[in-house]
């Protein structure tokens, strides 16, 4: 008999080769731990659906099929929204994550009353310099816009309090950026976010779908979330830059007795405009967050 403590949510897209090795031990482990296993086939075009259909009679597994690909975040939203347990853990279907790592994350969440525990991957996981640089740039960008108390922002191995993550998932994108954005939301809503090291295996089959487009999408979504939660963090520096630029440009011209130039006037007014927009955005942000927090 399953308990109501934890659901393991696994989004799956074209992982036919990996599933044969990955699923049987995962199902057995979740059954032994009395956890609910939720699998989401995100419109796979290979043999993934056929493999999952073999497990549909299994009472230890809950399976959902998307007719078309919704994206990594879209698949997670389906699984998370259906969960009824106290906690949810998300993990990938490529065999890189170990089910045994769930236990220390769960214990940490219970002992520390954490709302989100991020499974922090070892540094050597970033094998390519390109990927390492890209992750570092995204991390620096996010840290500039908002506080960031954790190191592995985009880890897919995370444990959440179900009631909280279900409240926030609609603010997250359907893309790979889901992992970054949901973490930033928890941090900015002042929920307790902790980090715990996990182990990483080599992919069973296939290759990572993370690309330059993924990185760009992540940056755009981080900016969107920053504008939602901390708009003044973006608009105030921009405002001061334009005002200082206008003053430094126009002051020498004024000293020479030639009056205030058009360029410096435009820069100063642009800075003031950004300042006013920031104040308005801050008010709209407060109103929207009040509505979000009322959904409890």
Token representation of residue 195: 């980090």
pLDDT in tens, 221-278: 777 777 777 888 889 999 999 999 999 988 888 888 777 788 899 999 999 999 999 9
* CATH number of the domain where residue 53 is located: 3.90.550.10
Say whether both 143 and 168 belong to one domain. yes
In a shared domain, residues 105 and 159:
yes
Is there a contact between 96 and 200 (Cβ–Cβ < 8 Å)?
A: yes
Strand partners, 161: 87
Phi, psi of 53 (to 5 degrees): -60, -25
Q: What is the DSSP letter of 190?
A: T
Q: What's the whole-number mean pLDDT along residues 36-65?
A: 94
pLDDT of residue 290: 78
Higher-confidence position of 104 and 292: 104
The most confident of 164-173, 207-216, 282-291, by mean pLDDT:
164-173
* 121 to 96, 98, 126, 285, 287: CA distances (angstroms): 10, 12, 9, 33, 36
167 & 188 share domain: yes
Single out the residue in 213, 229, 245 at which a domain terminates.
229
Q: What percentage of residues in the chain have a pLDDT greater than 70?
A: 87
Q: In what order do the strands lie in the sheet with 36-42?
A: 61-66, 36-42, 6-12, 87-90, 158-161, 116-120, 193-197
**pLDDT at site 157:** 97
Same domain, 76 and 135: yes
Out of 184, 204, 229, pick the residue that ends a domain: 229
For residue 168, tell me if it sits in a domain.
yes
Residue 180: inside a domain? yes
Same domain (yes/no): 71, 35:
yes
Contact 146, 43 (CB under 8 A): no
pLDDT at 216: 75
What value does the mean pLDDT of the chain take? 87
User: Same domain for 275 and 223?
Assistant: no
Q: What is the CA radius of gyration of the chain?
A: 23
Specify if 29 maps to a domain.
yes
Beta-bridge mates of residue 160: 88, 116
Q: Are residues 239 and 115 in the same domain?
A: no
Q: What pLDDT score does 233 carry? A: 84
Asked whether residue 100 carries a pLDDT value surpassing 90, the answer given is yes
pLDDT at 23: 94
Neighbours of 190 (CB within 10 A): 9
Domain count, the chain: 2
Confidence category of residue 116, pLDDT binned at 50, 70, 90: very high
pLDDT above 90 covers a percentage of the chain that reads 57
In a domain, 1, yes or no: no
Inside any domain, residue 64: yes
User: pLDDT at position 296, please?
Assistant: 57
Residues in the chain: 296
Whether residue 149 sits in one domain with residue 102? yes
25 and 133 housed in the same domain: yes
**Structural domain boundaries enclosing 265:** 231-293
As a whole number of angstroms, the distance between CA 154 and CA 125 comes to: 13
Helix pair 178-188, 129-145: axis angle to 10 deg: 30
CA 102 – CA 108 distance, rounded (Å): 10
Q: What is the pLDDT of residue 284?
A: 87
Residue 119 contacts residue 198 (beta carbons within 8 Å) = yes
Q: Among the three residues 180, 213, 229, which one is the final residue of a domain in this structure?
A: 229
Best CA proximity match to 208, nearest among 282, 100, 134, 274 = 134
Q: Which has the closest alpha carbon to 103: 199, 202, 204?
A: 199
pLDDT (average), residues 85-111: 96
Does residue 37 share a domain with residue 121?
Answer: yes
- How many angstroms separate the CA atoms of 147 and 150, rounded? 9
d(CA 167, CA 170): 7
Bridge partner list, 2: none
| Residue that is written with structure tokens 């069973």 in the block | 204
Q: Is the pLDDT of residue 283 over 60?
A: yes
Looking at the predicted structure, is the pLDDT value of residue 168 above 80?
A: yes
Dump pLDDT digits (tens) for 117-167: 999 988 766 555 555 666 666 666 666 666 677 888 889 999 999 999 999
pLDDT of residue 236: 92
pLDDT at 1 over 90: no
Check residue 288 and give its pLDDT.
77
Residue 142 lies in a domain: yes
Q: d(Cα 241, Cα 244) in Å, to the nearest integer?
A: 5
Which of 101, 83, 100 has its CA nearest to residue 36?
A: 83
**Same domain as 143, residue 260:** no
Confidence of residue 47 (pLDDT cuts 50, 70, 90): very high
**Whether residue 145 sits in one domain with residue 261:** no
pLDDT score at 52: 95
Strands (E), the chain: 6-12, 36-42, 61-66, 87-90, 116-120, 158-161, 193-197
29 or 218, which is more confident: 29
């Amino acid at each position: 008999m399953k308990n109501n403590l934890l659901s393991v949510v696994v989004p799956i897209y074209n992982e036919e080769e990996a599933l044969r090795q990955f699923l049987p031990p995962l199902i057995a482990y979740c059954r032994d731990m009395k956890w609910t296993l939720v699998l989401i086939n995100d419109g796979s075009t290979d043999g993934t659906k056929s493999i999952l259909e073999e497990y549909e009679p299994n009472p230890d597994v809950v399976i959902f099929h998307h007719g078309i690909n919704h994206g990594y975040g879209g698949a997670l939203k389906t699984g998370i929204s259906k969960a009824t347990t106290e906690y949810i853990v998300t993990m990938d279907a490529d065999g890189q994550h170990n089910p045994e790592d769930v236990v220390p994350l769960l214990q940490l969440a219970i002992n520390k009353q954490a709302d989100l525990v991020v499974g922090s991957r070892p540094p050597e996981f970033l094998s390519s310099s390109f990927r390492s640089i890209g992750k570092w740039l995204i991390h620096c960008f996010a840290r500039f816009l908002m506080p960031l108390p954790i190191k592995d922002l985009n880890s897919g191995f995370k444990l959440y309090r179900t009631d909280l993550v279900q409240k926030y998932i609609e603010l997250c994108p359907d893309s790979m950026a889901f992992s970054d954005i949901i973490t930033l939301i928890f941090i900015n809503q002042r929920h307790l976010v902790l980090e715990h090291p996990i182990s990483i295996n080599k992919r069973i089959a296939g290759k990572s779908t993370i690309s330059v487009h993924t990185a760009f999408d992540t940056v755009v979504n981080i900016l969107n979330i920053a504008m939602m939660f901390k708009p003044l963090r973006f608009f105030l520096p921009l405002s001061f830059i334009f005002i200082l630029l206008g003053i430094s440009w126009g002051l020498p011209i004024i000293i020479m007795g030639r009056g205030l130039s058009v360029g410096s006037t435009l820069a100063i007014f642009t800075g003031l405009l950004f300042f006013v927009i920031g104040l308005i955005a801050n008010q709209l942000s407060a109103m929207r967050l009040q509505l979000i927090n009322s959904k409890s």
